[in-house]
Amino acid sequence: MLDSNFNAKLGDFGLARLVDHGKQSQSTVLAGTMGYMAPECGTTRKASKETDVYSFGIVALEIACGRKPIVVNMERDQINIVEWVWKLYGEGRVIEAADPKLCGDFDEKQVERLIIVGLWCAHLDCVMRPSIQQAIQVLNFEVPVPILPSKFPVATYSAFAVSFSKFSDNNTGSNRGQSKPSANGYSSQFTTSSTTDS
């Protein structure tokens, strides 16, 4: 999308909204591109500031790493950009995620900040995501980079997990707690609590 001065702007064409002046906007059918939608969209079917922040984080990672969010023909641990970069972050090698086409010709501190902000915004727990203002402050070197968990957080959906577990127990008796692939490329753990290190 371009503004009146032909400056590039980001836009989400996957959200169809019905707007009535004086009333709150209402989402109709939520749709979007795989990899850019926050994982909670699959269960809540709603857009929010937090889901917008998630998408911003994915775009930041895409710019820094020079690849799409989901690449199915890559190694298993590299298919999803967030999981792959988070692993490098936990190993202290996050700068290795930088776009190889740059051939190392970039400011490492700037790229490192962009990558870490991308991970922060794409945190699976929407409560842990920053506001856009906080993200911009880090990118502008106004505040230090956040310290994220060294291990990739596990997505949990409590209400869905309970019903899924009951269904699994009644049918197979052995599926509780197993990872299931989801449409956004994550393996979501069906448990009733989140487990991340601090």
* Domain residue limits at 86: 56-130
pLDDT, position 32 = 58
Q: What is the mean pLDDT of each run of 10 residues along the chain (198 residues)?
A: 68 48 50 75 80 93 94 88 95 96 94 97 92 96 95 63 36 39 41 38
Q: pLDDT tens, 24-81?
A: 545 545 555 678 888 887 777 778 889 899 999 999 999 999 999 999 888 888 899 9
pLDDT, position 156 = 56
Give the domain CATH number at 123.
1.10.510.10
Tell me whether residue 196 is in a domain: no
Tell me whether residue 86 is in a domain: yes
Distance CA 90, CA 93 (A): 8
Tell me whether residue 112 is in a domain: yes
Tell me whether residue 192 is in a domain: no
